[in-house]
Structure formats: structure tokens, C-alpha cells
Amino acid sequence: MVGLGLISWVHETGYDRVGDSCRIVAMCDTDPDMAANRAALHDATPYTDFGQLLEDPRVDLVDIAVPHDLHHDVAIAAFEAAKHVVVEKPVATTFADARHMVEAAHAAGRMLAVAENTRYVSAYRVAEGVLAEGVLGDVRTVRSLIAGSEVARIRDPRTWHGKAPYGGVILDSAVHSLYLYRWLFGGVVDVTTHASKALPESEAEDNAVLLGRLRDGGEYHLHVSCTMEIPWTERLEIHGSRGSLVVDQLTDPVVRLFEGGDDIVGSSPGAVPYDPQQWKFTSMFEEIADFVDAAREARSPLVDAADAAYALEAVEAAYRSLEIRDRVAV
Ligand SMILES: NC(=O)c1ccc[n+]([C@@H]2O[C@H](COP(=O)([O-])OP(=O)(O)OC[C@H]3O[C@@H](n4cnc5c(N)ncnc54)[C@H](O)[C@@H]3O)[C@@H](O)[C@H]2O)c1
């Protein structure tokens, strides 16, 4: 594992849960105490230089959870060392770098698994099934929200969150929704962006709304915020010509299907546990299990790295829209 900060704990638990077929053998962080303490939990070797970790012959798969700007360089070095890669989202900070990573994985014959946990959120899998069954009819409007609070980290001058070189909430969170749109609706045709800074300490946007048309038809309204004082949550509304599906991780039931204006109560189209605390972590445990299986069985993971890269192409269009204050084709 390279990068032992906040999200690495979830990955670590994910590998532990996989059981005997995988073991954490090396842990790297530039903070030597962090590396030593975390490695001790697994009887693993601590490193402060990822280049040295990559020389460790016991390492088959490298899990990268460093700040966004380092994803590309660590992943490319890992492929050069013939390792499989799990990399956190966003794949990279630019579409070109993300594409380069996809090509490097292919050239090395190794797996590039993007930890785009969206693909493993059970409510979205139910949405995929409902869409496939055609219950909603033609999709007219999709609205999505990713919201929570990163206020403490943005205000902390020691962290990278909210600092200009790392991008804002569009790069950090809209990638999830844009990946989701790619998966469920073919992607987006165009984007018009509004963004703002709710906190004076934010160097990059901490709120944004992206609007446009979906490739498979219909329009979208995508809202991301990291200054909402609410448990970290996601909401998705799919409104079709015959009905609407509403996913909301803070409501019970999490998924509700409404078949027309008279269907006041709605129904539950699939069993999704109401778990506002753990739903995101649960999806991450599932992604890690899929990635380990995929590496062992030499198959592709559920997340196609090209689709995760596509999300960055759309992110770049969203930032261009901000610059020119107009709609941009994707
Ligand atoms: N899938 C999700 O929903 C999700 C959630 C949170 C974070 N993430 C992603 O995970 C990544 C890490 O986020 P985080 O919140 O854990 O960040 P963090 O700042 O808490 O942790 C990053 C760690 O990387 C270490 N590091 C920095 N440079 C390094 C280097 N050269 N070599 C080794 N270690 C280095 C830091 O010391 C730190 O411990 C980000 O890209 C973020 O977008 C994804």
C-alpha cells in the first residue's frame, strides 16, 4: 500500500477481509512513523520511498491512495516494475495522464483497477437493473447529489484538500457522478458548469453544479458539495416517461420506485440495506475483493479503467466551461 492516510484504512480492512488469498506485505508513506506503525499491524515492511517498495519481490499488487497529483507517477512506476495497480479516484489529474495509465497497464499486461466505489454501491446496481428492465420508460431527467463536509480538512493548512494544485470538488467528487453517468446513461454529451467557494479558506471550488445532456437521452443536473454539514451522502433521481427511481443513502428505504403521479408510496425494487454510516465503506470492501479476485484470475475488474478515465475527460470539459462561461461539448 502506498499512501496511508484517511481512505487507506478502508482499503486495508478490505484486504484483511479477503482472507488468506492476499496479505499486506509492504506499506509506504512519506511519514516514517505512519509507515512503521501501520506496517507493524501486518508484520509488513515499512517504506518511506515507494520506489523501494516497488523493488520488493513479494509485492504483486500496489494499492495507491496518495493525493491525486501522485497517482499517475506511482502507477507508471508500478507497471514498469510489473505490478498490478489499484488506484484511488480520480485516476489522475488529467485525461491525458489517465489514458497514459490505461495504455501502460495494457503494455505491461497488468491490471489497472480504479477504486471507483460507485460501481459497487448496491443501490446503483439496483438502479442498473431497473433501467435494464425498462420500468422507467425513456429517461427524461437525471439529478444527482454528492454531499458532505470536508470543512475541517480544507481549513487545516497541513492537508492538500481544497488547495489549488489539487483541484476542487469537481475533480474530487464529480468524477464519481460522471463515472456513474457513463455506466448507466452512456456518459454526457455536453456540460455547463457553475462553481463557487463557500469557505474563504478554499483555494479551489467547494461547490459545483454541472448541467447538460446525457448520451443515451435526457438531461442531467449534477450537484457536488464538500461544505454541507450532513453525513457524507449521495442521492440519485432518475425520471423517465413511465416512472421515477429515487436513491438516497439517508432515507429508509434507500431506493424507491414511483410508477406515476398516483403512486404516492412507491415500492422497493431491490433489497438495499439502510446504512447511512457504512454504505460507502461496504462498497469499497466489495471493490477490493473484486480487484484481488480479478488480479488472481487474470480477468478485468468490474470498473473499466477507460470509463474512469472518461470521467476525467468530462471533468476537464466542466472546468473549461467555467473558464469560458459557456457550454462545452464532451
Ligand atoms: N473513493 C472515495 O470515495 C475516496 C474517498 C476518500 C479519498 N479518496 C482518494 O484517495 C486518495 C487519498 O485521499 P486521503 O483522503 O486518504 O488523503 P490523505 O491526505 O488522508 O492521505 C494521503 C497519504 O499519502 C501520503 N503521501 C503523500 N505523498 C506520498 C508519497 N510520495 N509516497 C507515499 N505516501 C505519500 C501522505 O503522507 C498521506 O498519509 C485521494 O486521491 C482521494 O481522492 C477516495
Per residue in 195-217, pLDDT tens? 999 999 999 999 999 999 999 99
Domains of the chain in start order, with CATH, are 8-115 (3.40.50.720), 119-271+307-329 (3.30.360.10)
Pocket of ligand 1 (CB under 6 A): 2-8, 28-31, 34, 50, 65-68, 70, 88-89, 115, 117, 159, 172
Interval between CA 3 and ligand 1 midpoint (Å): 6
What is the pLDDT at residue 312?
Answer: 98
Atom of ligand 1 nearest to the CA of 161: 19
What is the pLDDT at residue 164?
Answer: 87
Q: What is the SS3 string spanning the chain?
A: CECCCCCHHHHHHHHHHHCCCCCCCEEECCCHHHHHHHHHHHCCEEECCHHHHHCCCCCCEEEECCCHHHHHHHHHHHHHCCCEEEEECCCCCCHHHHHHHHHHHHHHCCCEEEECHHHHCHHHHHHHHHHHHCCCCCEEEEEEEEECECHHHHHCCCCCCCCHHHCCHHHHHHHHHHHHHHHHHCCECEEEEEEECCCCCCCCCCEEEEEEEECCCCEEEEEEECECCCCCEEEEEEEECCCEEEEECCCCCCEEEECCCCCCCCECCCCCCCCCCCHHHHHHHHHHHHHHHHHHHCCCCCCCHHHHHHHHHHHHHHHHHHHHCCCEEC
Burial of 162 (0-12, 13-18, 19+ CB in 10 A): buried
Interval between CA 249 and ligand 1 midpoint (Å): 24
Q: What distance, in Å, lies between the first and last C-alpha atoms of the chain?
A: 34
**Spans of the chain below 50 pLDDT:** none
Interval between CA 81 and ligand 1 midpoint (Å): 22
What is the best residue among 37, 66, 68 to mutate for testing ligand 1's pocket, by most ligand atoms within 8 Å of CB?
66
What is the pLDDT at residue 98?
Answer: 98
What is the pLDDT at residue 20?
Answer: 87
What is the pLDDT at residue 27?
Answer: 98
Q: Please give the grid coordinates belonging to residue 7.
A: 481512505
What is the pLDDT at residue 284?
Answer: 98
Atom of ligand 1 nearest to the CA of 8: 16
Interval between CA 136 and ligand 1 midpoint (Å): 39
